[in-house]
Structure 1
Amino acid sequence: MTDAPAELPQLSEIDAEARGHALAIGAAELHGSLCGWLAGGAALKPDWLAAVMADPTVPAPPPGSALDRLARTTLAQFDDRAFGFELLLPPPEASLAERSGALFEWCHGFVGAFGLAAGAQPPLSSESEEALGDLARLARAEPQDDGDDADEEALVEIEEFVRVAALLLHGDCALAPRHRQRLN
């Protein structure tokens, strides 16, 4: 799986393909799950969707499909030395409730799949342990129906925290083992 496109597919494309695969989660949670899976140290294989969903009956996404592009782009973004990693979330013009709900769903997917991939005792730094705990708390949060400019600013800050936390966990569980293998 190489030659990843530079941008993530549209949220609507992923939602449509998730429904086509009869997945019980939306695009944001699915992307969070994929990110948790990769951050936990799992490899991206053609059957990644079945592994992420913990359901061996889920078929592999066809090459070139939106789900395939999502996986290839996400992996490339995680490996990007310029930290170009992005979360697949609704656009800024969406309501605060929609955006915060999607972010918390993303966190829910991330935490679950991270646990599947990394196992019970992942090799985490103290910063990563704290970040994972924060992500787990966000995964249980409720979306906010409405808010003011301060709430909008807070959501942007939380999104950036989640993005950095995912990169930190990926560094501990995926990048560090790869670097150790290269040194040996």
Structure 2
Amino acid sequence: MPANQLPLLSEVEAESQALTLSTSASELHGALCGWLAGGGADVREWPAKVLADASTATPAADGALDRLRQASAAQMGDDEFGFELLLPGAEASLSERSGALFDWCRGFLGGFGLAAGAAPNLSEESREALGDLAKFAATAPQEEGDEEDEEALTELEEFVRIAALGLHGDVVLAARRRQRLN
């Protein structure tokens, strides 16, 4: 498996349950990505950091959660925008997929807030994107839908993906550029 390829959703769920983490795999991935986008450390004990619970067990080296961290960090720093959200596949119901996306957004907001603090230095575009993510996080999944709803969900997923990369760029990449200039 390439270093920047996410583990399967089922693998992340299984290891999360084994560690008795009380969050869905999508929400956990969102929290990790928010943590990384907010400037949080890329460390193996990331679940304790993003769940703000020091008693949370550290994932096994090269287990699904450790691979999730490694791949997510690599994808967020990828110049080719290869960043992916860990969400159920197309075979899942619209309700399951939209619920997972909104869970991902909730996780992202929590992780980002923990890492970036109360007043991160953000562009106007990133502030708006953060507000939109908060709206998505407060949204309930749609029970049924048609092809138009499927297309709308695909567009939302792409928006969330780009918003996460933009926030990462504002907080992490901009800070690295400033350090290089000094």
**Matching residue of 2:15:** 17
Point out where structure 1 has 5 or more consecutive residues left out of the alignment: none
Q: Report the Cα distance in structure 2 between the residues aligned to 1:110 and 1:6, rounded to whole angstroms.
A: 19
- 2:8 matches 1:28: no
Q: 1:43 aligns with which of 41, 44, 56?
A: 41
**Count of matched residue pairs:** 182
Paired residue for 2:173, among 149, 158, 175?
A: 175
8 Å CA contact 1:4–1:76 kept in 2: the answer is no
Secondary structure at the aligned position of 1:142 is classed as: coil
Counterpart for residue 91 of structure 2: 93
When normalised by structure 2's length, the TM-score is 0.98
Shift of 1:5: 1.4
Q: Indicate conservation of the 8 Å contact 2:4/2:72, yes or no.
A: no
Alignment of 1:68-79 (within 5 A): 68-79=66-77
Call closer, same or farther: CA 1:46–1:6 in 2, change over 3 Å.
closer
**Which digits, 9 at most, give the CA deviation of each residue in 1:73-123, with x for residues without a partner?**
000000100000000000012110000000000000001110110001001
- Distance of 2:146 and 2:94 partners within structure 1: 9
CA distance in 1, matches of 2:169, 2:98: 26
Match of 2:102 in 1: 104
TM superposition shift of 1:4? 6.3
Contact 1:36 1:113 in 2 (8 A): yes
Deviation of 1:48 (Å): 1.3
1:143 counterpart residue number: 141
Kindly indicate whether residue 85 of structure 2 is the aligned counterpart of residue 84 of structure 1: no
In structure 2, distance between residues paired with 1:91 and 1:154: 15
Match in the other structure for 1:116 = 114
State the Cα RMSD in Å. Answer: 1.1
The alignment partner of 2:120 has SS state of coil
How far is 1:6 from its partner?
Answer: 2.9
List runs of 5+ in structure 2 lacking aligned partners. Answer: none
TM-score after normalising by structure 1:
0.97
Structure 1 CA distance for aligned equivalents of residues 4 and 117 of structure 2? 30
CA contact (8 A) 2:50 2:110 kept: no
Q: Say if 1:4 and 1:69, in contact at 8 Å, map to a contact too.
A: no
- Relative distance call for 1:4 and 1:63 in structure 2 (3 A) is farther
